[in-house]
Amino acid sequence: MPEGLSASEVGKEIAEHTKHAGEAPEADRRDRWISIVEAVILSFVAVLAAYSGYAAAKWGTESSVSLARASALRTKASRADLEALVTETQDSVSFNAWFTAFVANHTKGEQLAAKRLRPGFKPAFFAWLRTNPAHNPDAPADPQDMPQYVVPQQQAANAYDRAGDAAFDKGEKEGGTSDDYVRDTVFLATVLFLIGISGHFRIHQARYALVGIGIALLAFSIIQLTGLQAPP
C-alpha cells in the first residue's frame, strides 16, 4: 500500500500554506505602500533640488555682479583720488605764489596770485585771511587746513569708496546665500540617493531605515530652505 500523509499531517500542511498565503499579500501591501512613499519623496525632492540649484545660481550671479560693481567703484575712487591729489597740488602751488608775493610785500603780485586761485579754493583762502595769520599764532598754517577747503574730486572719491564697500558687503552676503543653497542642494541630492537605493534592499528593516534617514534629511533641508532669502 503506497505511503501517504496522515490526516494530521495534511491538516498541518494546509495550515502552513494558508499562513504563507496570508503573509504574502500583507508583505506585498507593505512593499506597495513603501514604494508609493518613495516615489512621492523622490518627486518632491527632485522639484525641491531643482529650485535650490536655481536659487544658488541666481544668488551666485547676483554676487558676481555686486563684486564687479564694487571693483568698478573702487577704480573710480582711485581715479578721483588721483585727480584730487593733482588739484591739491595745484592749490598749493597757487598759494605759494601768493605767499611769496606776500613775504616780498609785493601787493600787485599778491592781487594777481589771488586772482589766479582756483574758484573752489578762494572761499577757504579768504576765510584763512580773516583769521589774520600774519599776527595770529593760532591761525591755521594755510588755507588747506580750513573747513571751507573743499576738493570735489576728493568728495567723489570718498563717495565711490563708500559705495564700493557697500557693494562688496552686498556681494559677500549674496555669495554666502548662494553657498547655503548649494549646501541644501547637496543634502537633497543625498536624500535622492538614499531613497533611490532603498528599493534595492530586500530586507525591510534596511529599506525602512534608509527611507527614515532620507525623510529626516528632507525635513532638515526644508527647514534650512525656509530660512533663506528667496532668489532675486
Contact yes or no for 56/178 (Cβ under 8 A):
yes
What is the C-alpha separation between 44 and 164, in angstroms, rounded? 41
* Nearest C-alpha neighbor of 91 from the set 83, 79, 80: 83
* Nearest C-alpha neighbor of 74 from the set 157, 152, 170: 157
Give 24-45 pLDDT, tens digit per residue: 465 567 677 888 888 899 999 9
Q: What residues have CB less than 8 Å from 149, skipping those under 6 apart?
A: 121, 124, 143
pTM attached to this predicted model = 0.72
Give 187-207 pLDDT, tens digit per residue: 999 999 998 888 777 777 888
